Amino acid sequence: MNSALTVAFMGNHTVGVESLKVLCNHPNVEVAGVVAHPPDPEDGVVYESVYQYAKQQGLEVIRGRPEELQVASLLRQKPLDVIWVVDYKYLIPGAVLELASQVAINFHPSLLPRYRGRAPINWAIIKGESTIGLTVHQIDCGMDTGDILLQRTVPLSAQEDVGDALEKLYPLYASMSHTLVDQIVRGNTQPRAQQHQMATQYPRRTPEDGLIDWNQSSQEVLNLIRAVAKPYPGAFSFYDQHKLTIWKAKQAGMDTELQEYLQRVGPGAGDLIILPSKRILVKCGQGQLELVDYQCQLQLSNGKQLGLDKEIS
């Protein structure tokens, strides 16, 4: 009979809960302790809470950064086989990683070695990728550079946004957790080195990075809108000092109504296009986007309002 793995879990958000559930319910796993993020206003509101779930399961859980003494104290209470990391956004020092006698692993939502670092799903959509994925890799001293243990791919169409991407990835966190536990217990993991020459890495993102540059092409702007849609803060612009947040848009085909408007008005990049049919578009550097779902309260130059109900009153 296989002996139990003693695992310390470090993680956050819904993806962390999906993986932690597997560990809690696996007959060959003992969860020795859980380290969740410091308090976050999104925790348990926008996303599920690892901290709350661990409390409900009766696990010993703390919030903290990896360098804090309370984290080291928790992780040293029992000899650990595995340190299991899911959406824990802090680099873990070598002294902590060495507490795992077998392996320290991390779930990274990209097809490594591409999109190392922060916000990999968002960056993949911004760059127009049609395939995303989830990689489990060993943790080493680098940023998402360790050997790959498991990797799965999923398609993402040009009509899908980051919310759709997350819904596709959530089940993978659970299924890959099952697979990896079984492999570690049986001693048949098959790590493979990353092709470091193929690596890409992008910086962290903030809500302010959702500001739209309308001089870009309509496809580039659309990719940004898709990349920061709900549950993220959204892509946005300003009109008469009013913030317009765009949750969903689509390419605007050149029909007769639009063609006549463009010939008559000649709008520039960033200009709103209000058609007689009440369709609302924005001119881009190349092409136009039609707004599908947006949020604003804006007094337009024609005296009408672009309101929260997405209609021209």
What's 165's domain CATH number? 3.40.50.170
Q: Which residues pair with 278 in a beta bridge?
A: none
**198 vs 189: CA distance, rounded Å:** 23
Q: Do 15 and 132 sit in the same domain of this protein?
A: yes
What are the structure tokens assigned to 167, written together? 């819904």
Q: Which residues pair with 174 in a beta bridge?
A: none
- Report pLDDT for 40: 85
**35 vs 141: CA distance, rounded Å:** 20
Domain boundary among 202, 237, 268: 202
Q: Do 181 and 160 sit in the same domain of this protein?
A: yes
Distances (CA, A) of 73 to 33, 64, 68, 106: 11, 11, 9, 21
Q: Do 111 and 90 sit in the same domain of this protein?
A: yes
Q: Do 129 and 259 sit in the same domain of this protein?
A: no
| Residue 78: inside a domain | yes
Alpha helices (H) in 64-161, listed in sequence order: 69-75, 94-97, 120-126
**Is this model's pTM higher than 0.85 or not?**
yes
Domain boundary among 176, 202, 228: 202
CATH of the domain at 266: 3.10.25.10
Domain that holds residue 130: 5-202
Q: Do 187 and 251 sit in the same domain of this protein?
A: no
Q: Nearest to residue 35, comparing CAs of 69, 12, 2?
A: 12
Distances (CA, A) of 36 to 101, 106, 181: 22, 14, 21
**49 vs 301: CA distance, rounded Å:** 45
Q: Nearest to residue 132, comparing CAs of 110, 113, 149, 116?
A: 110
Q: Do 263 and 134 sit in the same domain of this protein?
A: no
Per-residue pLDDT of the chain (313 residues; tens, 9 = 90+): 356 899 999 999 999 999 999 999 999 999 999 999 998 888 888 899 999 999 999 999 999 999 999 999 999 999 999 999 999 989 999 999 999 999 999 999 999 999 999 999 999 999 999 999 999 999 998 999 999 999 999 999 999 999 999 999 999 999 999 999 999 999 999 999 999 999 999 999 999 999 999 999 999 999 999 999 999 999 999 988 889 999 999 999 888 889 898 989 888 999 999 998 889 999 999 999 999 999 986 555 555 555 544 433 3
**140 vs 247: CA distance, rounded Å:** 38
Give the DSSP letter of residue 208: G
Residue 22 belongs to what H/E stretch?
Answer: helix 13-25
In sequence order, what E strands does the chain have?
5-11, 29-36, 61-63, 80-86, 100-108, 116-117, 131-138, 148-155, 201-202, 235-239, 242-251, 272-274, 280-283, 288-295, 298-299, 305-306
Q: Do 114 and 157 sit in the same domain of this protein?
A: yes
Alpha helices (H) in 129-210, listed in sequence order: 162-186
| Count of positions (residues) in the chain | 313
